[in-house]
Every structure is written in C-alpha cells, then in structure tokens.
Chains A and B, each alone.
Chain A
Amino acid sequence: MRSALWVVGILILWEALAQLKAESVLFTGPSAIAGYLYDHASLLTRAAVATTQNAAWGFFWGILSAVLLASFAMLLPQLERALSSISLLVFCLPLVATGPILRVLYGPGAGPQITLAAMAVSYTTYLALLVGLRAIPQAWSDLITIYGRGAWIMLLRIRAPASLPYLFVGLQIAAPAAFLGAMIGEFTGAERGLGVLTLRAMRGLDVDATYALAMLAATIAMLAYGLVGWIARRTLGYAPVILLTPPNDHKPRSLGRQLLGLAALTLSVLLIWQVSMDAFGLNRFFAKRPVDVLNYLIQPEARSTLFAALLETLSMTVRGYLAGLLLGAGLAALLMLVPAWSRGIIPVAVALRAVPIITTAPLIVLALGRGATGTITIIAVMIFFPTLIACLQGLRQTPGQIVDVFNSYGAGRLRLLMTAQIPSMLPAFFASARMAVPAALLAVTTTEWLATGKGIGVLMALTASTSNYNMLWSCVVLLSVAAVAGYAFIAVIERVVLRVYAAEQVR
C-alpha cells in the first residue's frame, strides 16, 4: 500500500516536471509516454512478444547449461576449477562484440538474441547453483556416508534439493538478464523486437518512443522477476538460510602451481577456440583464430589504436564502478541508521534491480548528454541497484542475538552498524562487487557504442560494420582478459577481507 503511494507520488511529480519543461526535447512525462504506448500498441506488442520469446528461449538454454555445468562440477570436482574459469570467461565476453560476430555466424533470425540471452543467464545461474550445491551442513553429507552411499545419491537427495532456493535466487536475477541479452542481440540487426525499436528511436531522437520503450522493457523484466519470485515461494514452502559466497573446499596451492594452472587454462581456452572454429569449418575471414589475433596485435599502429580505446574505456569503467559500489553500500548502511526511510526506498530499489538498466541508458544519455558524466552515471546506476539489494540482504543477516546484545547495552545504531552489521554485510558486498565487474564493462561498451562514440565500445561497433574482424577479435580478447582480471582482483581482496570478518564464508 505504502509503496503504491510512493509510485503515485513519483508519477505526479514527474508529470508536473514534464509540464513545466514542456519545451524541452530531452524530457517527457507519463502522459506523453502513455499516449505513445496507446498509439503504437500493436507495433509495441509485436516487438515485446518477439523479445520476450527470444529472452525465454535464452533463459531456458542458459539454465540448462548452468545445471549441466554445475552437476559436472559436483560429480567431477577435479574439473570444477576449469569449468568455473571457462564459464566466467564466456560471461565476460563483451556482448557488444559477440553480438555482431554471432550475427555473421547465424545470419538473419533470432540466433544471436537467444545465444546472448543464454550467455547472460548461464553464469549467474551457474554461480548461484554452485554455492547452493556446496553450502550444505557437514551433517547432511555425513548422513550419506553413514549409509554408505556415494556422490551421485548425495547430488540427487541432498545437494539438488538443497540448492533449489539458490537456483531461484539465481533465476530471479537471470530473468531480467535474459531480457537484456535478447535486447542487445536485437541491437545487432534483428528484424523485430524492442531492441530494434529502441535503436531506431535513439537514432531518430524520438524522446517519447525512447521513454516508452524503456518503460515497457523495464516492466516486462520486472514482471519476469516477480514471477520467478512467486514461483519460488510457492515451490519451496520453507525459509532457507542463504549463504552468498561459495565455501571454498580447494586446498591452498603454491604460487608455482597456481601459475601452472593458469597456463594450462589459457592453453585449453586457446585450444577450444581454435578447434571449435576448425571443426565447424568457419570462414577465416571473420572467424579469426588465436594466431590471427596475435599477428594483428604485433602491428604497432593496431596496438596503439586498441590500447588508446581500452584506456579511455577503463578510466570510465573504474570511476563508474567505484561510484556505483560506494553509493549502493553507502545507501544500504544509511538505511540501517534511518530505518524510517527504508519502507519507501527498499520496494522501489527491489523493483528497479529487475530493470535491465542498459535499456534505460538511452534516457540517461538524453538527460546527461553524451560526455563522461553520462557514461559514468550509466555504469554507476547499473551497479548501484544490485549492490544496494545485496548489501541490504547482508545487513539483515546480522544474527538477531548479536543485535540483542548491542541493544541490551544501549549501544546506538551507528555503533551497531560499525561493529556488527557492516562485517555481516561484507560477504554480500563482495559477491556483488565481483559480479559488477563484467556488468560495468557491459554498460560502458554499450553506452560507448550507442551514444558517446568513444572508447573500445565504438571501436568494436565500427570494426564490426567495416568487417575489420582482426580488430574486433582483438577487442574481444582484450576486454575479456580485462574483465577476468578485474574479477580475479576483487576475488583476491574478498578472500583477504573475509578471512578476517567472515571466516565461516571462506572456510
């Protein structure tokens, strides 16, 4: 009820602003958006159905691959490290570049949209599943050993049902992600879909259309998010305790062995790349092999173009990333100090997390212009909502008894926050900080491509349209490596910090 009032309030304020600035070409109000939706109802419905269909197929394939990968990782624990690393790499592939490449591979049709949606879904789902499959109490696995049963029965009877709540958490995040992947796939030249219309509206500076499309996409994504949550609540019937970081069963490895592992992994990735392309007999003109990329990167002028673009992109990314993380965690902490605000803010934040933020990027560009401010804001917004929600969840995981102890000493909220709640929040914060690295790169490259015309995002778009596939593949390699390196860097900080504050999560 209260959140409904908030929504109505926001709508009224928004309309009033729009009426005041009626002469502005960058701003429009709810009534104009509603008008556009009404006038183009049949066009929009067809587009929405197409996008939703692609997203749904991608969702399906993404979940299927995540479930298979996670089951493999459980039954063959030796392979887990390799499986996880390769999945992470696939997740870090820049959609802006893989989109055009997939377009060439598939030709016209829904192939790229579905593939990109599946890629966006697969890793988050895999990760959530892996945490759930591993985070079982010792006594449950003892139970299986006591009756002389093996890994297979453990997976079937204990791990699989125990991971169900985690799967739902993953799916809830994945549902809007599938939508995002499908839309980016449509940006690369599909026949129909909300992505196609968004691109057309942006190019034509059609403000009403841009707003209406963003709203429509956001609404569908939020509905999908809500639907998964509803199904989860109906299915589970019990309130599970959810850990956020996978317990690490790996034995610590020496630096030498770690480097050896990394080398083996790099080699196998290169091998998969080479062999899969040869196996499908893909045309060398666009399906570049590792050697082609290496040869290309040896040329100094190619390298300098590429690195200049990458530097531009990374400087945006780091600023937006930090801003998003700090604002998200900061607001979460603030809401603990001023609980009265949270009743209004939390429902709105939960709803907005479901929005594939990139679909609203055109709005932010309209509002803030095509400069650095706009780009950084889009990255920050993209990261802000998941971080806020994750941190709030983490803060709420402070054990009730500890809160009682603080209250019994009459300690203030600030003291409680600093000493008990922030340490409890850290696992959730880091989990979302890790996932935010690829998200930030996705946001920045998409924005560069759609709006600012700077950085590696536009370089990829440009080289895709001029068939400079050597450059395109080099961009993919460099960006993926940057994303994986960033992710690994955060993971290292996470280990060090959590070892002190949340030993049970590191084990």
Chain B
Amino acid sequence: MTAENRAAENEAAKSKADDIRCLNIAKRFGELETVASMSLSFAARQTTALVGPSGCGKSTLLRMVAGLEQPSEGSITIGEETPAELAKRGGLAMAFQDASLLPWRSVRDNVALGASLARKPAGRVDDLIELVGLDGFANVRPGALSGGMRQRAAIARALVSAPDVLLLDEPFAAVDAITRAHLNTQLPKLWNETTTILVTHAVIEAVLLSDRVIVLSDRPARIVADIPITLDGPRDEAMQRTDAFKSLCDSVLTALEEGS
C-alpha cells in the first residue's frame, strides 16, 4: 500500500468518524409529537440542507443536533462525542433565524464574541467582517443596521470560531434577494471544511448550497426524500440556469408535495 493510499484511507476513516449520527431520535413536547422516530446521519465536511413545510420540526431537529433540546428518544453523536461535549470544546456554532446580536456590542465585538465563547483566537474577526460585506460597519451597533446586515454579522459570528459543525437555521430569511444571491455564492467557500446543516424554506437555495438535500414531511417530521446534489462546475448564477440544476429543484419540489 502506498503512502498516498494510506493517507486517503485515513482521511476516509476520519471523515466517517466525524459524521453526525442520529439514532432513532424522536421529540415530543407534551402531547405534541414534533419529530417521529427517525435515524439519519450527516456526512462530515459536507453541507446538508433540511427542507420541509413550516412547523414540520426541522428546526427542532437542528436544535437537537446543537444540544439545545434533548431528544425524547434515541441518541445523537458527532464523531465520538455528544453534542454537549463538542460544544464544550468550542466545536459548534449556529446562526439563528433572527440574527440575535447583542445590541450593546458593536458588529466587531459581536463577531469576536463567537471566538471568545468558543475559546478560540479572534484573529479572523476583521477578515470575516469584510467577507460578509460589512467592512466600514465594524464599529456600528446592530440597532443601526438593516435586517440583512445583521444576519450577515450573525453568520460571521458563527464562522469566526472555525467550528467543526456549523448549524444554520434559515439564516437568510431576512436578507433581501440580491444580497442573498451574493451570499449564496460567497459564503459556501467559508464552510467548505465544515460539517454544515442548513435549514431552509427556499428550494433553490437548498440545491445551490448543499451536497445533499433531505426533504421532511409535515409534522411529525419524517424523511420523504434524500437527494444527493451532484453538479459539475461552480455554484453560481449561471449554474442556476442549467437543466441539471432545474431538474434537481424539481425533484425536491415533488418530494415536498408528497410530504405535505
């Protein structure tokens, strides 16, 4: 066996070890069953989109992976660790539906908070602020920003700790269409090496940003379809006009209709 092969095999083994595995998880809030018993895994260093009707439980699924909710049944492991253990060493980050910036901190301090809470160096703060297009606003407080700008700051905060697992709960919901298109092409470069789960309503966004789209049914959530996204070439504006892209969007939409 050559050294190269061994390296590739090690890589494969490591990748497998860092998968997020949900085993027979279910979630009930009192009488209300939000997530029906299901097993699924999210491949390491890939982006997986969760798509489904509103209130179907996809956010609950995400919150369970984040360790913010405990599953009523089953277990979740990330590599060898529980979500809480991964969180303890600063390996998790999340961007919420509303930006949830702290109003008393400037954009720079809000982004830096992500690094300091994760006990990571804050060296990337200014670079990230520039990357999300907020250079010039670093010293501004969130109150003076538009909804889209706040959301971008929140994404920078989630990325600043270079997390192993990145959880995005409809992070672009408040962002206008043009900025959204820009973010959709720019941001994925930043989470290439990160295991990312993206919860979204927007089918085009899901297909454009991910390596795989999981379609969930109406509550209680179960998996309707699991669609791998294989597209040749850069994921940009031009890609969205190709037939391959459109047919992938069609299959996601068909699955969504089945599940509701």
- Give the B-binding residues of A (Cβ under 8 A): 137, 139-140, 142-149, 153, 157-158, 161-162, 164, 236-240
Which 7 A-B pairs have CB atoms at the shortest separation, nearest pair first?
A148-B87, A139-B100, A148-B88, A147-B117, A139-B96, A238-B103, A146-B94
With A157-B117, A237-B141, A238-B141 in contact, do A146 and B66 touch (Cβ < 8 Å)? yes
Whole-angstrom distance between the alpha carbons of A240 and B103 in the complex? 8
Contacts of A157 in B (CB 8 A): 113, 117
A146 touches B92 (CB 8 A): yes
Q: Determine how close the nearest CB of chain A comes to the CB of B125; give it in whole angstroms.
A: 16
Known: A139-B100, A148-B92, A161-B104. A238 touches B117 (CB 8 A): no
A144 and B117 contact, Cβ closer than 8 Å, known pairs A139-B100, A161-B104, A238-B141: yes
User: A112 CB to closest chain B CB, in angstroms?
Assistant: 39
Q: B104, A164: Cβ atoms under 8 Å?
A: yes
Could you tell me the distance between the alpha carbons of A227 and B237 in the complex, rounded to whole angstroms?
57
Closest to A165 in B: B104
List of A residues within 8 angstroms of B68 by Cβ: 142, 145-146
Residue numbers in A under 8 Å from B66 (CB-CB):
142, 145-146
Point out the residues of chain A lying under 8 angstroms from B93, CB to CB.
Answer: 146-147
Asked if B205 lies at the interface with its beta carbon under 8 angstroms from chain A, I say no
Which B residues are CB-close (under 8 A) to A158?
A: 102
Contact (Cβ within 8 A) B100 A146: no
Report the separation of the CA atoms of residues A144 and B100 in the bound assembly, to the nearest whole angstrom.
Answer: 12
Chain A residues lying within 8 Å of B94, measured Cβ to Cβ, are 142-143, 146
B191 to chain A, nearest CB (A): 16
Contacts of B104 in A (CB 8 A): 161-162, 164, 236-238
B84 CB–A CB distance under 8 Å? yes
CB B148 to nearest CB in A, in angstroms, measures 17
B67-81 to A contact mask, C-beta < 8 Å, 1/0: 110000000000000
Residues of B within 8 A of A (CB): 63, 66-68, 84-90, 92-94, 96, 98, 100, 102-104, 113-114, 117-118, 141, 143, 161
Measured CB to CB, the closest approach of chain B to A298, in angstroms, equals 51
How near does chain A come to B59, taking the closest CB pair, in angstroms?
A: 11
* Cα distance, A142 to B67, chains bound together (Å): 9
In the complex, are the beta carbons of A146 and B141 less than 8 A apart?
A: no
Q: Which residues of chain B are within 8 angstroms of A139 by Cβ–Cβ distance? A: 96, 98, 100
Residues of A within 8 A of B114 (CB): 147
- Please name 12 pairs of A and B residues whose Cβ atoms are closer than 8 Å in the assembled complex, sorted by A: A137-B98, A139-B98, A142-B94, A145-B87, A146-B87, A146-B94, A148-B85, A148-B86, A148-B88, A236-B104, A238-B104, A240-B103
* New A-B contacts (13) at CB < 8 Å, excluding given A139-B98, A142-B68, A158-B102: A139-B96, A139-B100, A140-B102, A142-B63, A146-B87, A146-B93, A147-B90, A147-B161, A148-B88, A161-B102, A237-B141, A238-B143, A240-B103
Chain B residues lying within 8 Å of A161, measured Cβ to Cβ, are: 102, 104
Which residue from chain B places its CB closest to the CB of A150 in the assembled complex? Answer: B88
Q: How far is the CB of B151 from chain A (nearest CB, A)?
A: 12
Q: Chain A residues with Cβ under 8 A from B117's Cβ?
A: 143-144, 147, 149, 153, 157
Residue of B nearest to A239 (CB): B143
Contact A143 B103 (CB under 8 A): no
Cα A144 to Cα B114 with chains together (Å): 10
User: Which residue of B has the minimal Cβ distance to A236?
Assistant: B104
**Complex Cα distance A149/B93, Å?**
13
Provide the residues of chain B in CB contact with A143, threshold 8 Å: 94, 100, 113, 117
* Chain A residues near B86 (CB-CB < 8 A): 148
Please report the C-alpha to C-alpha distance between residue A148 and residue B119 in the assembled complex, in whole angstroms: 10
Which residue of the partner chain B has the closest CB to A161?
B104
Q: Quick one: which of A145, A164, A236, A237 contacts B67, CB cutoff 8 A?
A: A145
Instruction: For A144, list chain B residues within 8 Å (CB).
Output: 117
| Cα–Cα, bound, A162→B141 (Å) | 14
Task: Give bound CA distance, A137 to B94, whole Å.
Answer: 15
Chain B nearest CB from A221 CB (Å) reads: 29
Distance (whole angstroms) from the CB of B80 to the closest CB of chain A: 16
By beta carbon, the residue of chain A nearest B161 is: A147
- Closest Cβ of chain B to A73, distance in Å, is 22
Closest A residue to B63 by beta carbon equals: A142
When the two chains form the complex, which single residue of B85, B98, B118 contacts A147, counting CB atoms closer than 8 Å?
B118
CB within 8 A of A142: which of B85, B96, B113? B96
Task: Name the CB-closest residue of A to B141.
Answer: A238
Shortest beta-carbon distance, A162 to chain B, in Å?
A: 8
A237–B109 CA distance with the chains assembled, in angstroms: 15
Most chain A CB atoms below 10 A, which of B89, B90, B102, B114: B102
How many Å from the CB of A159 to the closest CB on chain B? 11
A147 near B92 (CB under 8 angstroms)? yes
Looking at the assembled complex, report how far the CB atom of B5 sits from the nearest CB atom of chain A, in whole angstroms.
37
Minimum CB–CB distance from B97 to chain A (whole Å) comes to 8
A292 to chain B, nearest CB (A): 51
Measured between alpha carbons, how far is A236 from B93 in the docked complex, in Å?
Answer: 28
List the B residue with the shortest CB-CB distance to A139.
Answer: B100
A148/B100 in contact, CB under 8 A: no
CB-CB under 8 A from B89, the residues of chain A are: 148
Asked whether A147 lies within 8 Å of B87 as measured between CB atoms, the reply is yes
Chain B residue nearest in CB terms to A158: B102
Q: CA A137 – CA B86 in complex, angstroms?
A: 24
Most buried by B among A139, A142, A164: A139
Of A142, A144, A148, A157, the most chain B CB neighbours within 10 A belong to A148
Residue of A nearest to B93 (CB): A146
Measured between alpha carbons, how far is A238 from B63 in the docked complex, in Å? 30
**Distance in Å: Cβ of A46 to nearest Cβ of chain B:** 42
> Chain A: which residue is nearest B91 at the CB level?
A148
A164 to B102, CA, bound (A): 13
The answer for the CA separation of A147 and B114 in the assembled complex, in Å, is 8
Contacts of A162 in B (CB 8 A): 102, 104
Closest CB-CB distance, B234 to chain A, in whole Å? 31
Given contacts A140-B102, A157-B117, A161-B102, contact A148 B96 (CB under 8 A): no
Q: How far is the CA of A157 from the CA of B112 in the complex (A)?
A: 12
**CB of B184 to closest CB in A, whole Å:** 23
Contacts of A142 in B (CB 8 A): 63, 66, 68, 94, 96, 100
Residues of B within 8 A of A164 (CB): 104
